[in-house]
Amino acid sequence: MSDTTGDSELPDRTDTVVVGGGVMGTSIAYFLARAGDRSVTLLERDTLAAGSTGDSSAILRHHYGDETIYTDMAWWSHDFFRSFEQEVGPRIAYEGSPLVRFADEGTPGGAYARDGYDALAERGIPVSMQEGDAIVEEYPMYDGASEFDLAVSDDTAAYSDGSDAALGFARGAGEHGADIVTGVSVTGIRTHNGDVTGVDTDSGPLECDEVVVAAGPWTPQLAETVGVEIPIRPVREQIVLLDPPSDYAEAYPSLTPTTSLPDGEWYIRPDFGEGVLVATHRYVDEVDPDDYDEEPDEEMMLELVENLETVIPELADAGIKGTYCGVYSTTPDHDFVIDEAGPDGCYWACGFSGHGFKHAPAVGSLVTAVVRDEEPTLGDERIDLDYFALERFEEAPDGNGAPDDYI
Ligand SMILES: Cc1cc2nc3c(=O)[nH]c(=O)nc-3n(C[C@H](O)[C@H](O)[C@H](O)COP(=O)(O)OP(=O)(O)OC[C@H]3O[C@@H](n4cnc5c(N)ncnc54)[C@H](O)[C@@H]3O)c2cc1C
């Protein structure tokens, strides 16, 4: 019996267990259940979206410099998010909002902006570029805009809401017969002769043939129980929600484009209900995901406001509507882990490094293809999953190489 509210009992056995009820686990459960050839049980130790997903800024962009594997996954996923209600059933929060990259020629940021421009243009994804005075005309709220050589706009970028999407996927998975069980923690993976035979939980064992672990920053702990090493560092990021002054909101009804500055260490995004979200994007503050300070540091809030003053002075007088912190599950190269490793029937989807939300539909669909031993394709495009294989860390500790940390 399926339960879409997320509190059903453990079944006696199931074909496939999905561990983790974030946007990845719920998307994977949805696509697996929709395929219709196996029973699926999702186990979440807390409530759905209790991890990174619930804190996500949920920006949907397509510009990824020259890392076009992400452009392809993000574009396919964005199409899916746009038609979420049609595809999955429930409606989810969604708002179109261009993402602009300000940059200087001859810098890594400039090269990244231009590479992404070319990648989007080649694929027919709406993108535009301004140079010189045209930047100031296009972005009048940005006092600092005149200092940059170019601005590349990912014109059809958008944002959504992490919890809403995870709950939507969970409901959709339930409609296709999956059991969604919350408040049950997986404590280990059972094997026999090198094959997965079940999972141990704090509510007893559950027999299964396959397990897909999408447990965010907690994944390495489970991986260790079957001798799989996954290099993930949980890092804390800090978020402030601003209430812009009314004259600013009147002058700029779309408030601000989503953007990060060339140093890439913080970003700004309009929010549902006329707010403005400002957040760090630093990857430096390593924490225990079970025990970290959920309130931003005073000095970081001051720094964010000072940064804002330099680019949008009118927002320096904004009121503060809310503050919180969230955790990125970060790999050395900031690339994902999507792989089968360890005992036969054991799959891993983790290490989304602060940019996973926008790819959740693609990840659900690709993991489903891997579990069903099919070609990993999105539309007509074959996705090279070797890019996300754990093996890359055996060949080099930083895997695919130093990351680009732009949002
Ligand atoms: C502040 C912030 C801003 C972000 N902004 C963006 C953005 O703008 N765009 C973007 O694309 N991405 C963004 N991200 C990244 C994105 O949100 C994540 O990549 C994505 O949510 C990861 O989802 P997940 O399901 O892998 O992990 P999580 O959401 O962490 O889910 C893992 C789940 O597993 C459960 N779990 C753990 N261990 C067990 C166990 N043993 N048994 C059962 N359940 C278990 C946890 O309780 C948790 O619910 C942001 C992240 C943060 C924190």
3-state secondary structure of 171: helix
Ligand 1 atom with the shortest distance to the CA of 59: 8
Interval 98-110: pLDDT, tens: 999 999 999 999 9
Interval 149-178: pLDDT, tens: 999 999 999 999 999 999 999 999 999 999
What separation in Å is there between the alpha carbon of 48 and the centre of ligand 1?
10
Give me the mean pLDDT over the 338-359 stretch: 98
- 311 lies in the same domain as 237: yes
User: Can you state the angle between helices 68-82 and 108-123, rounded to 10 degrees?
Assistant: 50
Q: Which domain holds residue 268?
A: 233-330
- 187 lies in the same domain as 259: no
- 377 lies in the same domain as 247: no
- 273 lies in the same domain as 300: yes
The domain boundary residue, chosen from 282, 311, 330: 330
Does ligand 1 come within 6 angstroms of the Cβ of 356? yes
pLDDT number for residue 317: 85
The mean of the pLDDT values for the chain is 94
- 258 lies in the same domain as 323: yes
- 169 lies in the same domain as 209: yes
Let me know if residue 226 belongs to a domain.
yes
- Pocket test residue of 18, 57, 291 for ligand 1, highest count of atoms within 8 A of CB: 57
Q: What angle do CA 388, 156, 122 make, to 5 degrees?
A: 65
pLDDT band for 341, please (50, 70, 90 cuts).
very high
Let me know if residue 85 belongs to a domain.
no
* 138 backbone dihedrals φ, ψ, rounded to 5°: -75, -35
- Pocket test residue of 44, 52, 222, 334 for ligand 1, highest count of atoms within 8 A of CB: 52
Let me know if residue 206 belongs to a domain.
yes
- 227 lies in the same domain as 337: yes
Give me the mean pLDDT over the 214-237 stretch: 98
pLDDT number for residue 264: 72
- Pocket test residue of 352, 353, 363, 407 for ligand 1, highest count of atoms within 8 A of CB: 352
- 318 lies in the same domain as 183: no
Does ligand 1 come within 6 angstroms of the Cβ of 62? no
Cβ contacts of residue 83 below 8 Å, gap of 6+?
Answer: none
For residues 272 and 293, what is the distance between their CA atoms, to the nearest angstrom? Answer: 25
Whether the pTM exceeds 0.95: the reply is: yes
pLDDT number for residue 262: 63
Let me know if residue 80 belongs to a domain.
no
pLDDT exceeds cutoff 70 at 66: yes
Percent of the chain whose pLDDT exceeds 90: 86
The domain boundary residue, chosen from 156, 177, 193: 156
Does ligand 1 come within 6 angstroms of the Cβ of 269? no
Interval 4-46: pLDDT, tens: 445 568 999 999 999 999 999 999 999 999 999 999 999 999 9
What separation in Å is there between the alpha carbon of 76 and the centre of ligand 1?
20
Let me know if residue 93 belongs to a domain.
no
Ligand 1 atom with the shortest distance to the CA of 357: 11
- 278 lies in the same domain as 255: yes
- 240 lies in the same domain as 315: yes
Interval 274-311: pLDDT, tens: 899 999 999 999 999 999 999 999 999 888 888 887 88
Does ligand 1 come within 6 angstroms of the Cβ of 218? yes
Question: Residue 204: is it exposed, middle or buried by C-beta count within 10 angstroms (0-12/13-18/19+)?
Answer: exposed
The domain boundary residue, chosen from 276, 307, 330: 330
pLDDT number for residue 9: 81
Let me know if residue 76 belongs to a domain.
no
The residue contributing the CA closest to ligand 1 atom 35 is: 20
What's the distance, CA 290 to chain centroid?
A: 20
- 225 lies in the same domain as 348: yes
CATH of the domain at 193: 3.50.50.60
- Pocket test residue of 28, 46, 53 for ligand 1, highest count of atoms within 8 A of CB: 53
pLDDT number for residue 306: 82
What separation in Å is there between the alpha carbon of 378 and the centre of ligand 1?
22
Hey, what's the torsion of the CAs at 273, 275, 276, 281, to 10 degrees? -70
Does ligand 1 come within 6 angstroms of the Cβ of 357? yes
What separation in Å is there between the alpha carbon of 160 and the centre of ligand 1?
14
Let me know if residue 313 belongs to a domain.
yes
In the chain, how many domains are there? 3
Hey, what's the torsion of the CAs at 91, 94, 96, 97, to 10 degrees? 180
- 48 lies in the same domain as 180: yes
CATH of the domain at 250: 3.30.9.10
DSSP string covering 247-300: HHHHH-TT---EEE-TT-SEEEEEETTTEEEEEE-----B-BTTB---S--HHH
3-state secondary structure of 206: strand
Let me know if residue 63 belongs to a domain.
no
User: How do strand 210-213 and strand 233-243 relate by DSSP bridges?
Assistant: unpaired
